[in-house]
Amino acid sequence: RKEVEQDPGPFNVPEGATVAFNCTYSNSASQSFFWYRQDCRKEPKLLMSVYSSGNEDGRFTAQLNRASQYISLLIRDSKLSDSATYLCVVTRGGSSNTGKLIFGQGTTLQVKP
Amino acid sequence: DAGVIQSPRHEVTEMGQEVTLRCKPISGHDYLFWYRQTMMRGLELLIYFNNNVPIDDSGMPEDRFSAKMPNASFSTLKIQPSEPRDSAVYFCASSSHRGPSYEQYFGPGTRLTVT
């Protein structure tokens, strides 16, 4: 089983739609959680950190459920520019917590006019 | 501020040749990471350094791969000899644990093609 699992998609949605991505992780000791965004043929970039209380940044909302080891990303009012691959990322926690990020395979979003 | 700098951006080489990829991390960052990305395997961590010291190289595929960090502002990833299956995008990333925890900044990548 992969340490971080995501539905690869692709998710094809019309502009203005609300879309949600889910991610599960296997290491219960993981301590930090992120969503990264990667545009086609570009490098990954941090989209937002994910906190236990949930956090929002404009149209984007991230939530963490430690009990279920589940992370989600909600995008409201989708824009064409949101088309990208979204990578779920966790740090390996416990005694080996050394800043090493574990990346999911990514979920591809295509927003259509 | 300059981000992570990688060179070359593209490299095409023949099987058996030596390939050297270069990375300059963000100034002040104490962690440096080398990743490889392919369609089949996604983003894989190859090796990472803390304060120029290799910490975890368990992701390095085999002895043909080696990485060095002679100082805080430079690292290399070398493949010798190269093989067609090494074709991928190689990213370098850096981070500072003095700031927001574990945010990594990626360079633009080196797209390697081995023929």
Instruction: Kindly report the three-state secondary structure assignment for every residue of chain B.
Output: CCCCEEECCEEEECCCCCEEEEEECCCCCCEEEEEEEECCCEEEEEEEEECCEEEECCCCCCCCEEEEEEECCEEEEEECCCCHHHCEEEEEEEECCCCCCCCCEECCCEEEEEC
How does DSSP classify residue A89? Answer: E
**Residue with structure tokens 């739609």?**
A17
Give the residue from B26, B31, B97, B104 with the most A CB atoms within 10 Å of its CB, the best one to mutate. Answer: B104
What are the tens digits of pLDDT across the range A4-18? 999 888 999 999 999
pLDDT at residue A40 greater than cutoff 80: yes
Higher pLDDT, B94 or A101: B94
In this structure, are strands A107-112 and A55-57 parallel, antiparallel, or unpaired? unpaired
Which among A42, A45, A106 is the nearest to B42, CB-wise?
A: A106
Q: Find residues 27-86 of chain B whose CB sits inside 8 Å of chain A.
A: 31, 33, 42-43, 45, 48, 50, 55-56
Distance from CA of B69 to the nearest CA of A (A): 17
Give the lowest-confidence range in A7-11, A17-21, A40-44, A73-77. Answer: A7-11
Angle (CA) B19 B21 B24, round 5°: 165
Q: Lowest mean pLDDT of A39-53, A75-89, B20-34, name the range.
A: A39-53
d(CA B22, CA B66): 12
| Residue A34: band (very low, low, confident or very high) from pLDDT cuts 50, 70, 90 | very high
Q: With an 8 Å Cβ cutoff, are B95 and A105 in contact?
A: no
- Asked which of A72-81, B19-28, B47-56 is least confident by mean pLDDT, the reply is B47-56
Q: Is the pLDDT of residue B100 over 60?
A: no
Instruction: Say what the pLDDT of residue A81 is.
Output: 97
Q: Which amino acid is at A3?
A: E
